[in-house]
């Protein structure tokens, strides 16, 4: 099945800084999603982005499917951005979504 790897595993930022999170996947995908898990454990879908670039406020994501990676950009980070960011992709030909191990982000005031 597909392997999904995320980097860096941990990231500490000062409020206002920018960051880039990376998601590599081992197989071609027709679907990729980014999620944020807040400190209370709630999982929120950020982007459904099989290819191209999308933006939502201070967050944007780019997926280059041919090169098997996706990037999540966080600009002007805020303390509320803290938590764990996951990417997920399905094993080819199925709806069996596999998650990466996540990037744990802490934004300091």
Partner 1 sequence: NAGVTQTPKFRVLKTGQSMTLLCAQDMNHEYMYWYRQDPGMGLRLIHYSVGEGTTAKGEVPDGYNVSRLKKQNFLLGLESAAPSQTSVYFCASSYSGSRKAGNTIYFGEGSWLTVV
Q: Give the residues lining the site for partner 1 (CB under 8 A).
A: 1, 31, 33, 35, 41-45, 48, 50, 86, 88, 94-102
| Shortest spacing between CB 88 and partner 1, in angstroms | 7
Q: Which CB, 74 or 98, lies closer to partner 1?
A: 98
Q: Which CB, 14 or 101, lies closer to partner 1?
A: 101
Neighbour-count burial of 40, counting CB atoms closer than 10 A to its CB (0-12 exposed, 13-18 middle, 19+ buried) = exposed
Contacts of 35 (CB under 8 A, 6+ apart): 43, 44, 45, 46, 85, 86, 87, 88
Q: Which CB, 69 or 97, lies closer to partner 1?
A: 97
| Shortest spacing between CB 42 and partner 1, in angstroms | 6
Residue found by looking up tokens 């990417």 in the block: 87
């Amino acid at each position: 099945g597909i392997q999904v790897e995320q980097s860096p595993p941990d990231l500490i930022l000062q409020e206002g800084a920018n960051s880039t999170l990376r998601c590599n996947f081992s197989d071609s995908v027709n679907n990729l999603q980014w999620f944020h898990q807040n400190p209370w454990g709630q999982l929120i879908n950020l982007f459904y982005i099989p290819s191209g670039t999308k933006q939502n406020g201070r967050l944007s994501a780019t997926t280059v499917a041919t090169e098997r990676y996706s990037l999540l950009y966080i600009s002007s980070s805020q303390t509320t951005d803290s938590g764990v960011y996951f990417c997920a992709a399905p094993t080819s030909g199925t709806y069996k979504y596999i998650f990466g191990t996540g990037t744990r982000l802490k934004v300091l005031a």
